[in-house]
Amino acid sequence: MEGSKVPRFQGSKVPGFCCPTALTERRKLPRGRLSRVAESAILGPSSTQLRNELHGRGDCTERGMAGLRDFREFAAWQRAEELRHLVDQFLSQPNVKVRFRSADQLADASSSAPRNIAEGFGRFRRKEFAQFVRIAEGSETEVLNCFVEAKHKGLISDDDFARYETAARRAIGTAVGLIKYLEKE
């Protein structure tokens, strides 16, 4: 995973409301308030949720948040997945699972973070998504703690620890950025 290119989360550059797929494909919609008749003509007869999104009300509806259509597009998920791969790499070393009693806990925590981000994205609501990202952040912090413990037991060299710690802190920081974005109104 060394040298992998994962884009940074740019929370400040993401629009402040959820953009359903139908709206992102119709960029020629006029700005400001539309009459209900005009909205119905542009968006179709069942446009209540889309109308709310257009005017910045409501939550994510059609699996599109800020133009993202898949949980794998979030930098927070990518960082969590990168951390999981580093943990797998660490645990694949000879004798680590034998000498490190927290190996299973480390593997579970590293797998939990990307799973929680994915599940939160599937909930469609900002507050719920933020709660799942908080859980992912906690798992990433647990991974960092396990790395510290492994270093104290002499299972990780100083150079490897620096690499693992950097990956964990980057994942945690990206999760915090996503939480802040999700909680702003």
CA distance 174 to 29: 32
Average pLDDT estimate for 56-79: 70
| CA nearest neighbour of 175 among 119, 126, 113 | 113
Superfamily of domain 71-183: 23S rRNA-intervening sequence (1.20.1440.60)
Using CA atoms, how far apart are residues 63 and 21, in angstroms rounded to an integer? Answer: 8
**Roughly how many angstroms between the first and final C-alpha of the chain, as a whole number?**
36
From CA 120, how far away is CA 140, in angstroms rounded? 16
Check residue 124 and give its pLDDT. 79
Question: Residue 21 above 60 pLDDT?
Answer: no
pLDDT at 162 over 70: yes
> Rounded to an integer, what distance in angstroms lies between the CA atom of residue 84 and that of residue 74?
15
Position 104 pLDDT exceeds 70: yes
pLDDT band at 65, cuts 50/70/90? low
Task: Note the pLDDT of residue 185.
Answer: 67
Instruction: Yes or no: say if 108 and 101 are a contact pair by the CB < 8 Å rule.
Output: no
Which position has the higher pLDDT, 23 or 154?
154
- Distances from the Cα of 110 to the Cα of 52, 171, 180, angstroms: 37, 11, 22
pLDDT at 33: 42
Q: Is the pLDDT of residue 140 over 60?
A: yes
Mean pLDDT taken over the chain: 75
**Range in 34-38, 120-124, 159-163, 165-169 with the lowest mean pLDDT:** 34-38
Average pLDDT over residues 101-120: 95
**Local structure of residue 169 (DSSP, 8 states):** H
pLDDT of residue 66: 59
Q: What local confidence, expressed as pLDDT, does residue 25 receive?
A: 37
Domain boundaries, the chain: 11-54, 71-183
Question: How does residue 49 score in pLDDT terms, banded at 50, 70 and 90?
Answer: very low
Choose between 131 and 9: higher pLDDT.
131
Is the predicted pLDDT of residue 109 greater than 80, yes or no? yes
Q: pLDDT at position 78, please?
A: 96
Q: Determine contact, residues 140/113, Cβ cutoff 8 Å.
A: yes
What percent of the chain has a predicted confidence (pLDDT) above 90?
57
Q: What is the predicted pLDDT for the residue at 112? A: 97
